[in-house]
Amino acid sequence: MGCRLLYLIGQLHTGGSERQLCYLFRAMDRERYKPAVVVWTHGEDDVYVPQIRALGVPLYSFPQNHSRAAKLHAFRGLVRQLQPEVVHSWSFYTNFVAYWAARGTEALPVGSIRSDFVRAKRVSGPIIGRLSAWWPSSQICNSLSAAENARLLNSLFVPARISVVRNGVDLDEFQSFPVPADEPVRIVGIGYLLPVKRWECLLTAVRELKKKGLNCLVEIAGDGPLQSILEQQAKDLAVADSVQFLGHIDDVPSLLAKAAFVVHTADSEGCPNAIMEAMACGRAVVATDAGDIPLLVEDGKTGFIVPRNDSSALVDCMERLIADRDICRRMGKAGRAKIEREFGLNRLVEETLAVYRSAGWSDT
């Protein structure tokens, strides 16, 4: 048998869901479960392509000139060729594709909700959003908040069975580092440069901190369509000398090792890797109350939670951490302990396989 578990993902560029799929493969007994992955929109130079290949996981893709209909037909044929036991869509907008391709086979289709459920439906479009929210009937959320939003939604287009498997962290890769005593204080933000991440809130906070005479350097790691706009905003706010846009960073642990703390200003989230990785590296986190962030960051213990759009609260919490490195150290130590207790990779694999079994998969 060439493949037992077949995964379908939208792309393998920079992103949290791509990293989690790599984590799953890395920690899984690949000899036993024989995973393979299909990429809906493939780029040979995408970040996670070599990582997946290095693990010996077969990777399939479609010609770039294929239409959606042609990809759907090709994927259905691939499912019949490989005869997997489970077809797991790892991206929300490919959920219906996994369901449709598995129809008429013995494969169990499973879907994913990787961020806020309502937002995922909206950005996927009125047709694909509804179909992917309804099928497959069994779907895995990576956050408790997304699962709760889906269950409470008064709509026909919701999965019949919703399970929660929160993200994991590679604790060997993301080790705890001492909080540096360097000046100016380094602050890190990590994520896509997209509107939903609300990077302008962080830029505005830096301006207010400078007005207070507080010296800091903010490093923003991530690529995306807003980079030139945000760089101009930094100039307009007169903080360009205090903010660096680093682009995509492969060595995130080394970046976090130089930081005193991390700031996350998103409006919508699931279970964000950036926060979990910061905590694993022993860093305090200042973050908004989006998604499962309040369950990750214990306010006042491992960091500070601020309401979305509350600029004053954001500035106040950043000011406290800039002024007191001992608080950063204490919160960072507590954050590392929490990640060790709750977010190891073995737990990610075990809970994912348990969902397959509960949905009818025979793990023999």
Residue-level pLDDT at 152: 87
The domain that contains 201 carries what CATH number?
3.40.50.2000
Do residues 286 and 236 share a domain? yes
Alpha-carbon span 341 to 348, nearest angstrom? 13
What is the extent of the structural domain holding 324? Answer: 185-342
Same domain, 132 and 196: no
* pLDDT grade for 364, boundaries at 50, 70 and 90: confident
CB 298 within 8 A of CB 358: no
What pLDDT does 338 receive? Answer: 98
Q: What integer is the mean pLDDT of 238-242?
A: 97
Helix axes 345-358, 16-27, angle to 10 degrees: 90
pLDDT of 61 reads 96
Instruction: State the alpha helices, DSSP H only, in the chain.
Output: 16-27, 30-33, 49-54, 68-82, 95-102, 117-123, 126-134, 144-152, 199-211, 227-236, 252-257, 273-280, 293-296, 311-323, 325-342, 345-358
- Please check the confidence at residue 261 and state whether its pLDDT lies above 90: yes
Greater confidence, 281 or 152?
Answer: 281
- Confidence at residue 153, expressed as pLDDT on a 0 to 100 scale: 84
Domain shared by 163 and 208, yes or no: no
Question: How do residues 19-59 score in pLDDT, each as one tens digit?
Answer: 999 999 999 999 999 999 999 999 898 989 999 999 999 99
Q: Which residue's structure tokens are 């960073």?
A: 249
Q: Is residue 148 scored above 60 in pLDDT?
A: yes
Q: Which two tokens stand for residue 285?
A: 């986190």
Question: Which range, of 246-250, 253-257, 282-286, 297-301, averages the lowest pLDDT?
Answer: 246-250
Residue 137: name the closest of 76, 96, 107 by CA.
96
Encode pLDDT of 158-169 as tens digits: 999 999 999 999
| Same domain assignment for residues 130 and 264 | no
| Same domain as 324, residue 350 | no
Backbone angles phi, psi at 74, to 5 degrees: -65, -40
Mean pLDDT of 71-100: 97
Is residue 321 situated within a structural domain? yes
Do 273 and 298 reside in the same domain of the chain?
A: yes
Structural domains counted in the chain: 2
pLDDT digits (tens, 9 = 90+) for 277-315: 999 999 999 999 999 999 999 999 999 999 998 999 999
Same domain, 224 and 352: no
What is the value of pTM for the model shown? 0.92
Same domain, 124 and 202: no
Q: Give the integer Cα–Cα distance in Å for 127 and 131.
A: 6
Residue 1: pLDDT over 60: no
